[in-house]
Amino acid sequence: MLRRAVILLGAVVALSVHCPVARAQEITDVVLARQLGAPSQALELKAGTGYTQGSGMLSPGRTMADASGAGLGVSAGIDFRLVRPWSLGVEARYQEYAERGNTAARGFAADLGATHHVAPLLPADPWVRLGMGYRGFFEDEPAGATGVRVAHHAFEVATATAGYDVRLTEDVAISPVIGADVDVFVREEPSSGQPSTPPLSQVAAFVYLGLQGRFDIGGARAGVDILER
Helix (H, G, I), strand (E, B) or coil at 200: coil
Tens digit of each residue's pLDDT (9 = 90 or more) over 166-219: 999 999 999 999 999 999 999 999 988 777 776 778 999 999 999 999 999 999
Report pLDDT for 180.
97
Say which residue, 4 or 155, is predicted with more confidence.
155
Which residues share a beta bridge with 40? 220
Report pLDDT for 123.
96
Q: Identify the band that residue 23 occupies on the pLDDT scale cut at 50, 70 and 90.
A: very low
CA distance 37 to 171: 9
- Lowest model confidence (mean pLDDT) among 66-70, 125-129, 139-143, 199-203: 199-203
The DSSP string of 155-188 is EEEEEEEEEEEEESSSSEEEEEEEEEEEEEEEEE
Report pLDDT for 147.
84
Instruction: Judge whether residue 32 has pLDDT over 60.
Output: no
Helix (H, G, I), strand (E, B) or coil at 227: helix
User: Would you list the domain boundaries of the chain?
Assistant: 1-33, 38-219
Radius of gyration over every alpha carbon of the chain, rounded to an integer in angstroms: 25
Report pLDDT for 29.
39
CA distance 48 to 73: 8
Classify residue 86 by its DSSP letter: E
| CATH, domain range 38-219 | 2.40.160.20
CA distance 217 to 172: 10
Tens digit of each residue's pLDDT (9 = 90 or more) over 72-128: 999 999 999 999 999 999 999 999 999 998 999 999 999 999 999 999 999 999 999
